Amino acid sequence: MTRIYNFAAGPSAMPLSVLEQAAAEMTDWHGLGLSILEMSHRSKDFIGIYRETVSLLRELYGIPDEYEVMFLQGGGHLEFAMVPMNFSVGGCGNYAVNGVWSKKAFKEAQKIGEAAEAACVDLRAPRQDEIKLTENASYLYYCSNETVNGIRYWYTPEVSVPLIADMSSDFLSQPVDVRKFGLIFAGAQKNFGPAGLTVVIARRDLLGRADPSTPTMLDYETYAKSESMYNTPPTFAIYIANLVARWLLDQGGVKEMQRRSVIKSQILYDLIDQSEGFYYNNVEKISRSRMNVVFNLKDESLNDEFVRQAYEKRLANIKGHRILGGMRASLYNAVSIEAVEVLADYMKKFAEAHS
């Protein structure tokens, strides 16, 4: 079997050992004679997997007891709606807008209640002093890593209202001081497992504030009160996330993921910066993402050739987001330093051959 080097933006590369373990356990989980896919979510075995996954996450991020860890469905997009439904009642959701996902979240919030832009910048994260809250702000929302243009916040905003972060594309890639946040959410499909699972980490005292007319499944408290089992949770996705969390701990946890992601992203940014303009990246340097390295070829007519030849070397899924074009290499936790070195070597040779 020849696996590709997978630089997909999500769903994305998974640790091979996780896939192998899932395959080995597919038809008979722990000698019980059935697959996880066939197991009741109310069974003690599944509840065991569920609780262990929560506690592994608590260990990975150092999540304090006063925070709930919840497993939802609906991806980042449903969170765009649930955040204002749960937290903007009687106030105004404030949004730091810098790119595709925070803009979408802001638009959704405007449909639901009062919402305002606390900052609006392109191709970088706003500075702390550019974030201006409205007087009636009920929270500040931001996206810690913008996946399409490849923009990261290099700092955590400090505000007097609860801080809400979309960490979909940098989840578990670096240490996070959870106490600084009111709520963190992330779709699992980049760094934590399969699509279909959304993780929400929320300060308990902020829950239960949704308007009474809020549908049950859109109220965070429903999940907090039921161990995320008010209805059938995405059992298989939670099981895979459990294996990923164990893999992460084995590898050295989020500190080690941060160390690797600094190395991986630096390899590509150095190459881009030293290519004499053959490749270029438009993001302000300090805001450059360590998860999604976005770049263009000066000569766009070479784009198809670049992607085709890359694929011949098993370097796959490096095309940019459909709304942006260009190239994007996503360097999530399961992408090895070696894979990035192979990509950098290819990029270097391609530039030499076409300069």
Rounded to 10°, the helix 16-24/235-251 angle is 130
User: Which of the ranges 28-36, 55-63, 70-78, 273-281 carries the binding residues for ligand PMP, by CB under 6 A?
Assistant: 70-78
| Residue 198 among known ligand-binding residues | no
Residue 129 is among the residues annotated as catalytic for this protein: no
Minimum distance between the CB of residue 170 and ligand PMP, rounded to whole angstroms?
8
| CB contact at 8 A, 268 and 344 | yes
| Residue 179 among known ligand-binding residues | no
* CB nearer ligand PMP, residue 46 or residue 171: 171
Select which of 104, 170, 177, 190 is catalytic.
190
- Beta carbons within 10 angstroms of residue 347's beta carbon: 25
Euclidean distance between CA atoms 219 and 87, whole angstroms: 10
* CB nearer ligand PMP, residue 29 or residue 171: 171
| Residue 166 among known ligand-binding residues | yes
Near ligand PMP by CB under 6 A: residue from 168, 191, 222, 296? 168
Taking the alpha carbons at both ends of the chain, their separation in whole angstroms is 35
Tokens read off for 311: 């694929």
187 contacts ligand PMP (rule: CB under 6 A) = yes
Residue 101 is among the residues annotated as catalytic for this protein: yes
Minimum distance between the CB of residue 260 and ligand PMP, rounded to whole angstroms?
20
| Residue 250 among known ligand-binding residues | no
Euclidean distance between CA atoms 318 and 311, whole angstroms: 9
Residue-level length of the chain: 355
331 contacts ligand PMP (rule: CB under 6 A) = no
Euclidean distance between CA atoms 22 and 264, whole angstroms: 27
182 contacts ligand PMP (rule: CB under 6 A) = no
| Residue 303 among known ligand-binding residues | no
Minimum distance between the CB of residue 209 and ligand PMP, rounded to whole angstroms?
23
* CB nearer ligand PMP, residue 53 or residue 168: 168
CA angle 226, 230, 231 (to 5 degrees): 150
265 contacts ligand PMP (rule: CB under 6 A) = no
| β-bridge pairing 5-6 and 315-316 | parallel
Strands (E), the chain: 5-6, 67-72, 92-97, 114-120, 137-143, 145-146, 151-152, 163-166, 183-187, 198-203, 279-280, 292-297, 315-316, 327-330
Select which of 45, 65, 104, 166 is catalytic.
166
Near ligand PMP by CB under 6 A: residue from 13, 14, 75, 88? 75
CA angle 246, 250, 253 (to 5 degrees): 85
The residue number with the shortest CB distance to ligand PMP is: 75
Residue 166 is among the residues annotated as catalytic for this protein: yes
Q: Which residues are annotated as a binding site?
A: 42, 101, 147, 166, 189, 231-232
Which residues are the active-site residues? 101, 166, 190
Q: Which residues are annotated as a binding site for pyridoxal 5'-phosphate?
A: 101, 147, 166, 189, 231-232
